[in-house]
Homo-oligomer: A and B are copies of this chain.
Amino acid sequence: MTKTRIDHKQLRKLAAELLMAAGTDATEAVVIADNLIWADLVGRFTQGVWRLTVLLPRLRSGLVRSPCVPEFIQKAEGMGVVDGHDGFGHYVGHIAMKKAIELAQGNGTGLVAVRNSNHFGASAYYVELAAQAGMIGFAFTNATRRVAAHGGLTPIFGTNPVCFGAPLENGESVLIDFSTGAMAGSVIRKASEAAQPIPEGVAIDEHGNPITDPQQAQRATLLPFGGARGYCLSLLVEILTGVLTNSLISFQIPTMHEKNQSPSRIGHFFFVIDISRLLPLSEYLRRMETLVAEVRKSRLQTGVTEILIPGESRWRNYAEQLREGILLDWTTTESLKSIANELEVSTPW
């Protein structure tokens, strides 16, 4: 199926227009569009403009509310809670991470726990905001239940990603962002659209047998990645995002992809460290270069051509697509076109 290159500015404009035409507050639309386009630029297409096909129906049904005014409740000098009041997760998350950065500027560290939010897209987007401010960032979110505990058959946890960002000298931060399930839910969804089988060790049926059919896998229980250790990380993220925030716990969150349901009430957790309080930023950057250089100098395993720093392949996508345009697949362009027609918005393709 053919792919189309779209200039990122045109695509950002389209995303914002679609959001506004569907009833999203204008300020929110700009923030959400920026988030979606960033995900597309770095190659996380499952968190890019394709998401509008899920987000807009949820707005229409009132499960996501806009305009929304996220409410900040300060809990300590460097600590607070944001109640998202069912607003777009992308917007609520942005407000919360910006607040965490502001707290860290005044206090060295900033912690913001978020309740009553929605799916917030690519976690890496938020830690990148921290890295751009010269800070180390953590971003966590829960999500509807998909992943079993180690040894179990019942889905308990969301794919609860672990996400961490740290600035580098060249401006391309270290970006760590991975699902604690054996595979991200959105990646399985994409595999299903492309009718590509998924590997064993990802999804299981009700008896624990492996499922490789991506369509079946979408409704199946996922295994935690790396066995007991992945389960530990799923639980860690759940405690921070589900328990501490007073929001819903993953197994209580309704799925996003079904109709006639209640709001997601997802929890997020952001934590930021102002590096310059611990050592001069220039000294930190020099030390990071020492570490990165040592990693790159590694002798390579057979068949490996280079060691990548986490985030590096994302930044390569970013540079290429910023220059050449974002490479959208047919499913995305077609479904956006159909939404655009309905909303009487013109597409650049």
Contacts and interface: CB of A to CB of B under 8 A. Distances in A.
Interface of A: 75-79, 81, 107-109, 111, 113, 136, 148-154, 156, 162, 164, 166, 174, 176, 178, 204, 206-208, 225-226, 228-233, 235-236, 238-240, 242-246, 249, 251, 273-275, 277-279, 283-284, 287-288, 290-291, 294-295, 297-302, 304, 306-310
A68 B302 CA distance: 47
A166 B299 contact: no
Number of copies: 2
B153 A298 contact: yes
A207 to B, nearest CB: 8
Contacts of A283: 246
A254 to B, nearest CB: 16
Given A154-B298, A176-B232, A178-B229, 4 more contacts: A152-B299, A176-B233, A231-B310, A245-B278
Contact of A295 (B149, B162, B178, B290): B149
Contact of A79 (B108, B113, B299): B108
| Chain A interface helix/strand/loop/mixed | mixed
Nearest to A204: B301
Given A174-B235, A226-B230, A275-B244, A295 B156 contact: yes
Contacts of A113: 278
B154 A75 contact: no
A263 to B, nearest CB: 19
Contact of A239 (B148, B291, B297): B291
Contacts of A208: 301-302
Contact of A152 (B166, B178, B238, B298): B298
B244 A79 contact: no
19 contacts: A75-B108, A76-B277, A78-B78, A79-B277, A109-B111, A136-B239, A150-B307, A151-B307, A151-B308, A152-B298, A156-B295, A164-B236, A176-B236, A206-B299, A242-B291, A243-B284, A243-B291, A245-B278, A249-B291
